[in-house]
Amino acid sequence: MRDALGTIYQDQSFAHLFPQNGRPVEAPWRLAFITVVQFIEGLPDRQAAEAVRGRINLKYALSLELTDPGFDFSILSDFRKRLLEGEAEQVLLDAMLALFKERGWLKERQRQRTDSTHVLAKVRAINRLMCVGEAMRFALNSLAVVAGDWLLEHSDPDWLDRYGHRIEEARLPQSQEERQAVAELIGRDGSHLLTALYAAEAPALLREIPAIEILRRIWVQNYVWIEGQLHWRSHDDLPPGKDFINSPYDQEARYGKKRETRWTGYKVHLTETCEEKRPHLITHVATTAATTTDEAMTETIHAELEQTALTPRQHLRGFWLYHGTDPGLEPATRRHSA
């Protein structure tokens, strides 16, 4: 990478992410470079920091002396956090695209293709019953930290046994009738807690706890009041998948399905050049909800390619992965032509 592409990144591209005073930081261009190396080699932060300390090839790529002691692994997660909070993650790709244009590898009017693949949320895959149980546990744990005395005053003693441990499928009954009874018991507990939280005399600060708002939304989605009784919603009465919360620990993660693949999380749409005699280069990346269809993103991606002077001659949207074409499939089965 160093011999063919140079250092790729420049410190000034990341200057707006760091304060102008305080302690000196590790050179941002090095952190960006090692972030790319981490992805290529599948290295977690600790192993990446250790590799920088011990591998001559990485010291060469990062312009470090052989005796350089490297850096603490926590710097890498801090750098990624700065990228995300500063909405600067695109800088990593844009710098490469600029370099590829300089080398003549990337030109406008090249044939390009887009396809998507799944991104798993960093949560357990759980069903609706486990979700409401975990939402209740999450809310109680959050209240215990912020307002322990208030929680003791407004909680049921049985809640400790019911929600004091992670909700596991193995602990839940098997019959549909018994599972619905458990769901409605949890529903009554959550409704009791929400009623106390939204009472006029309750501290307003408690309603601002993120776990409480998540609990309220999950209860609206999963329960309905009928003639003064709380009932577990049927599957036919649930909100659309694009709005349905699947885990209290990641309220933006959605259930997705693409052919045989099913997952909870997000979807990433990758666009690459696909000229036969040129290197295939990623030109655009877009992350969306798992429920966003591939067709819905084609026009958006094409418009953003135009803004970066990478308008394709032909923009394909077909049944392939970004890293290769399945020769058994017709690549132009579904396509958008510029």
pLDDT of residue 319: 44
The pTM of this model reads: 0.80
CA–CA distance, 40 with 53 (Å, rounded to integer): 18
HSE, CB side, 13 Å, CA atoms: give it for residue 275.
13
Q: Longest Cα pair distance anywhere in the chain, in angstroms?
A: 75
Which ranges constitute the DSSP H helices of 147-244? 148-154, 159-163, 176-197, 204-207, 210-222
Contact 118, 290 (CB under 8 A): yes
**What pLDDT score was predicted for residue 210?**
96
Q: How far apart are CA 316 and CA 113, in angstroms?
A: 4
Residue 338 near residue 311 (C-beta atoms within 8 A): yes
Phi, psi of 225 (to 5 degrees): -90, 125
Question: Parallel, antiparallel, or unpaired: how do β-strands 282-289 and 261-273 relate?
Answer: antiparallel
Judge whether 319 and 116 are in contact, CB under 8 Å: no
In angstroms, the CA 116 to CA 291 distance is 12
Q: How many CB atoms lie within 10 A of CB 31?
A: 22
Q: Which residue has the tokens 């919360």?
A: 245
> pLDDT (tens digit, 0 to 9) for every residue of the chain, 338 residues total?
899 899 899 999 999 998 888 777 789 999 999 999 999 999 999 999 999 999 999 999 999 999 999 999 999 999 999 999 999 999 999 999 999 999 999 988 999 999 999 999 988 878 999 999 999 999 999 999 999 999 999 999 999 999 999 998 888 999 999 999 999 999 999 999 999 999 999 999 999 999 999 999 999 999 999 999 999 999 999 999 999 999 999 999 999 999 899 999 999 999 999 998 888 999 999 999 999 999 899 889 989 999 989 999 888 876 443 333 333 333 333 333 33
pLDDT reported for residue 332: 35
Could you tell me the CA-to-CA distances from 98 to 87, 91, 268, 281, 319 in Å, in that order?
Answer: 19, 10, 22, 12, 29
Whether the Cβ atoms of residue 190 and residue 216 lie closer than 8 Å to each other: no
d(CA 230, CA 233): 9
